[in-house]
Structure 1
């Protein structure tokens, strides 16, 4: 059975229309062509759709003929991201044990190990005490690839506290130059780059950085994010940090209250210490 056929069967078993099955991950038009075998679906979007409807991913893959015990890298990365926002150190440790079984090359596994190491350090509040050799290794991994990609951008996003003000300025400037028209890049890159910019805004504030001349260009990039559900977090964070720089305490509190009132207390708590 193809993935499109399996999706169609799953959707019908759930009693959903194509729009209900795919939105807001994909449009009905694009999703319909996946079911008919005209278009393919990437692993990240497939996982999001299945998780949105509480479909067992392992069972679904078996239905499609995938019977090995290897772990999908994109699924693993989404679990790691969720564990961090949940402040769940035990889950991060569990994910660390799964790295040998992830379907990817050794270089990428090294990147994933570094992501685990930094996430653990962030959750323990010990990132500043990492040995210099570890810090150098992370930095060398990020720039080992010739171009920015999902993995080195993800690692860079959580490695920001490792870099000095002087090191950060040319890196962020180059990212702003490349991605300022963020709406022209794939959805996955929009989410990654905007998360880097949001994290950097927090770092600028907490570290009393001298690179405040970058702030306005960061806001321009975040303003250019397309208005889509998957970019909501980036848009909200732009407003949160803009309110901080404008001294708008009421708007800051309104945004914190929004998260708290919508069962996202942990995000609200993280934001309180980010400024």
Structure 2
């Protein structure tokens, strides 16, 4: 069964007209073409329709191998909540069983909460070990795994992650034509690594490698904050206080004070 066939069958089982099925989400004439198999439905629209009718998103998507788009929504929500220092929202995401199909992503969200609540020392060491294992034993990387690594980097010693970072920079140096989701996560990993290198004077070469990689990433709106963070960390590395203040003022003036305070200026990842 194809996606369009299943969504049609689901609508019929609910006893809904097409207009009732997609009201407030997409145009009914476009949806009619979806049910006929003439066009494809965007994953985000499918998710909205399923939520509207209290249907299981994960169950529906697993039939078609589409769990990752659903995970992306919650990855993005978790990242935003973390950067805003909002542990309450993170706890809501973590506790809702409908939200995530990935145990590892849930574990990373638990790690985020522990960090915001200043309880990293009490965090389950077995979960830390499991997160490290899932990174070092993977051959085929996807956006979920990159996100897991980006948001759990602070549980590693710098030397432990150097091989992974080297792999990232070598793998993605050849071709920069990747999707925005991957680009965003690569930029996150890079500025996280730059920040970690700053905290250890012996890692100047590694810092410069990360700086060079970030500078080569395309200047698009989606990684504006990461580009600013990279420039800020470079200014710190060079002792350029005027440039640091200029970048901070730019971000404050544009409403990104939370990013400055909770990431760029915070003492540790």
1:1-54 CA-to-partner distances (Å, cap 9, x unmatched) read 598x954579xxxxxxxxxxxxxxxxxxxxxxxxxx6566453xx69xxxxxxx
Equivalent of residue 70 in structure 1, options 37, 57, 64: 57
Are 2:215 and 1:223 aligned? yes
Structure 1's consecutive aligned runs of 4 or more residues displaced over 4 angstroms after TM superposition are 37-40, 60-63
- For the Cα contact (< 8 Å) 2:197–2:206, is it kept in 1? no
Shift in Å, 1:103: 6.0
The aligned residue for residue 233 of structure 2 is 241
The aligned residue for residue 81 of structure 1 is 79
Q: Distance in 1 between matches of 2:172 and 2:163?
A: 14
The aligned residue for residue 101 of structure 1 is 98
For structure 2, which runs of at least 5 residues remain unmatched after alignment?
1-17, 30-37, 59-69
RMSD: 3.1
- For the Cα contact (< 8 Å) 2:74–2:100, is it kept in 1? no
The aligned residue for residue 166 of structure 2 is 173
Q: Distance in 2 between matches of 1:7 and 1:209?
A: 54
Between the two proteins, the alignment pairs up a number of residues equal to: 230
For structure 1, which runs of at least 5 residues remain unmatched after alignment?
11-36, 48-56
Cα distance 1:245–1:92, how it changes in 2: closer, same or farther (>3 A)? same
Q: Distance in 2 between matches of 1:9 and 1:225?
A: 39
The aligned residue for residue 90 of structure 1 is 88
- For the Cα contact (< 8 Å) 2:251–2:257, is it kept in 1? yes
TM norm structure 2: 0.73
The aligned residue for residue 187 of structure 2 is 194
Cα distance 1:182–1:251, how it changes in 2: closer, same or farther (>3 A)? farther
* Aligned counterparts, 1:1-275, within 5 A: 7-8=26-27, 41-43=42-44, 58=48, 67-70=54-57, 72-98=70-96, 100-102=97-99, 104=101, 108=102, 110-181=103-174, 183-206=176-199, 208=200, 210-270=202-262, 271-274=264-267
> Secondary structure of 2:247's partner?
helix
- For the Cα contact (< 8 Å) 1:182–1:190, is it kept in 2? no
> Secondary structure of 2:57's partner?
coil
> Secondary structure of 1:239's partner?
helix
Cα distance 1:146–1:95, how it changes in 2: closer, same or farther (>3 A)? same
Q: Distance in 2 between matches of 1:156 and 1:189?
A: 13
Q: Distance in 1 between matches of 2:28 and 2:245?
A: 46
Structure (1 or 2) with the larger CA radius of gyration? 2
- For the Cα contact (< 8 Å) 1:80–1:95, is it kept in 2? yes
1:30-89 CA-to-partner distances (Å, cap 9, x unmatched) read xxxxxxx6566453xx69xxxxxxxxx84x5578xx650436322222211111011111
Cα distance 1:84–1:182, how it changes in 2: closer, same or farther (>3 A)? farther
Q: Distance in 1 between matches of 2:227 and 2:156?
A: 25
